Amino acid sequence: SQKIEQNSEALNIQEGKTATLTCNYTNYSPAYLQWYRQDPGRGPVFLLLIRENEKEKRKERLKVTFDTTLKQSLFHITASQPADSATYLCALVGAGNNRKLIWGLGTSLAVNP
């Protein structure tokens, strides 16, 4: 069955360091991969989208990579700040008519001052 795995353990890092979050998938051929941020008590907020034929996408301090051979996406936050503390979700979108969105469980990130 289709499956997405994100780090289940919370990630704790020091302010200023780079946070790296992982999203692995199996039995799926996504056309796009999305990353969202979710703060406690709030709905997810879209951050970045990367296509299957793109290796890397950047937005300010955020960088996403997509390796369809490894079936993995890495999400990096450089120069992390305490305000980056949140849960980060990845979601896959199928190709062609299979537009079904599959969600990971999310990884909790805590940036310590």
Judged by beta carbon, residue 97 or residue 113, the one nearer other proteins is: 97
Judged by beta carbon, residue 57 or residue 71, the one nearer other proteins is: 57
CB 86 within 8 A of CB 106: no
Binding other proteins (rule: CB under 8 A), the pick from 15, 81, 99, 112 is: 99
Judged by beta carbon, residue 85 or residue 107, the one nearer other proteins is: 107
Buried b (16+ CB within 10 A) or exposed e, 54-88: eeebeeeebbbbbeeeebebbbbbeebeeebbbbb
Tokens 């999203």 map to which residue?
Answer: 23
- Residue 41 touches other proteins, criterion: CB under 8 A: yes
Contact residues toward other proteins (CB under 8 A) are 31-32, 34, 36, 41-46, 49, 51, 89, 91, 93, 99, 101, 103-106
